[in-house]
Amino acid sequence: MINAELAHQCENQLGEGIIWSPAENAILWTDILGKHYWRFDPATGKASSHELSERLCCFAALGNGQLIAGFASGLARFDLKNRQRDLIAHLESDQPTTRLNDGKIDRQGRLVFGTMDEGAEGPKPLGHVWSYDGVSPPRVLFDGIKISNSIAFSPDGRLMYFADTPTRRIDVFDYDSETGTPSNRRIFTELKADAGYPDGSTVDAEGCLWNAEWDGGRVVRYDPKGRIDRVISLPVPNVTCCAFGGPTLSDLYITTARVGLSDEALKAAPLSGSLFVVKNAGQGLADTPFRLS
């Protein structure tokens, strides 16, 4: 068991969508429910944030403060400096209880992202997984999803990982890198009843999947066969997403959340919502830049 260290105490309601930006030499992420975009500089240990008018659920960093922003209601090109927002597409307007959630850039530079249901009766399979290539309108890859998470791609881009979180299962698809189309969905691994729920993931240079466990207090590294290879323990229950960062992409950064925790639970885990790090955890892969039209 490996323990994660505190990188920055930020009390995020729902930290998510974490990535490393080589252009900024910084870790970037979003507090979805807190409506803030965050930046952390490992060299100085300093963090800063931008307040947002809508929940930012996932994003692709374009550099110079520009994002392809997956807001709750849809995709937009967004400028953090002047707050200019150019709509790309509203999504699932016919489903008033769904919003965007997890997203990741595939190895060819497309943004692949999913939605989730926030209905009062609990999540229903109303969500979809989408792909946006910067040229054509976003297109649906598959549907019937309650809470989309764990989107990640193998080093060669030929496999896509995905979890519908309430199922406590991570699936894997064959992925056509030319068309960006997944097929042959099958079980990669199933989480046991005493574990948490699969949330955000990343893949390392060895093709192993690192998955953050909501209500599990840990990040688990799975080998390419879906077997547990390593476990990282965190002092908080709701672990949400992870990404390799730093100049050599060897440090694993991890977001967490405070939402849903009682006062008693927060007293027991006061660092909930913080950013954590495991130094020299492994070797990450550089994200492919989003391919602009």
- Res 63: pLDDT: 87
In single-letter form, the type of residue at position 139 comes to: R
- Res 240: pLDDT: 98
Tokens of 199: 């949330």
- Res 293: pLDDT: 57
Say which residues have a Cβ less than 8 Å from residue 65's Cβ, sequence separation at least 6.
79, 80, 81
Residue 231's CB is within 10 A of a number of other CB atoms, namely: 14
Pairwise CA distance, residues 2 & 279, whole Å: 11
Where do the domains of the chain lie, and which CATH numbers do they carry? Answer: 2-278 (2.120.10.30)
- Structure confidence by residue, pLDDT tens digits, 185-197: 999 999 998 899 9
Residues of the chain with pLDDT under 50: none
pTM, whole model, 2 decimals? 0.97
- Res 106: pLDDT: 97
SS3 166: helix
State how far the alpha carbon of 220 is from the alpha carbons of 104, 175, 192, in Å: 19, 23, 13
State how far the alpha carbon of 53 is from the alpha carbons of 17, 34, 230, 266, 292, in Å: 18, 10, 39, 27, 25
**Sheet order of strands, 197-203 included:** 2-3, 228-233, 218-222, 209-214, 197-203
